[in-house]
Amino acid sequence: MKPFPEESSEQEVIHEFKINPSVNNKPVPILQFIIPFIIQAGLLFAIPAQSTYTYLTGRTVILQTIPVDPYSLLTGYYQILNYDISTRSTLEKLPGGKDILKDEKSFYVILEEEKSNNQGIPQAWKPIRLTEKIPDSLSDNQVALKGEYKRGSVEYGLEQYNMPEDQRNKINNNISQARRSVTENQMQPIVVEIKVDSQGNSVPVSLWVKEQNYRF
């Protein structure tokens, strides 16, 4: 019995497919693999490059910390801190704060340098207002720090740091002692030194616990 035309046609296609490997073995352009690799590598190197630029060109700024849960302060190799400018209630008291924090968005908090108190610990800079865009010009004693308000939280990318394991116990002890020495209306003597560049980007530099300084 002769095969149906459909079966004969299908057998011819299969036969041609087997004897002509060029039908399914077309060379894949090498750029198809190289381009995604270049893009991924560029993203990996862009982050350290930005941090290095900020560290080298940025201005030194001091941020005041606020108490956090002592059990989450040092978790493994990471140190977790909050700042007075990390709370929505604090920012809403500043000019422009209530309007800007209505929606989830990026913003800039303008910080102003305070005179040193000569107590062995750097004086924290004072937040004075919020803006949606980075100002064209600021006074010599001011900087614009970029932050982001999302899901009810204020973040600056400065909330978590790597800390050498061999310093954890010492830092914990010093922090506990510093907190016990503070009265009810005093700010805790724990501040963070950062660098802020002209675009508002920031990187952490060190932690001050009273007169003790720990580099990140």
pLDDT recorded at residue 120: 76
Amino acid at 120: G
Mean pLDDT check: name the lowest of 16-30, 69-83, 157-171: 16-30
Q: How far is the C-alpha of 146 from the C-alpha of 160, rounded, in Å?
A: 16
Helices (H) and strands (E) in the chain, counts: 6, 12
Joined tokens for residue 174 = 């010093």
Q: pTM score, two decimals?
A: 0.72
Question: How many Å is the maximal CA-CA distance in the chain?
Answer: 106
pLDDT recorded at residue 80: 78
pLDDT recorded at residue 98: 92
**Partners of 95 in beta bridges:** none
Alpha helices in 149-212 (DSSP H): 168-180
Strand arrangement of the beta sheet that strand 142-150 belongs to: 126-131, 105-112, 142-150, 153-155
Is 189 in contact with 67 (CB distance < 8 Å)?
no
pLDDT recorded at residue 33: 54
Is 126 in contact with 114 (CB distance < 8 Å)?
yes
Helix (H, G, I), strand (E, B) or coil at 167: helix
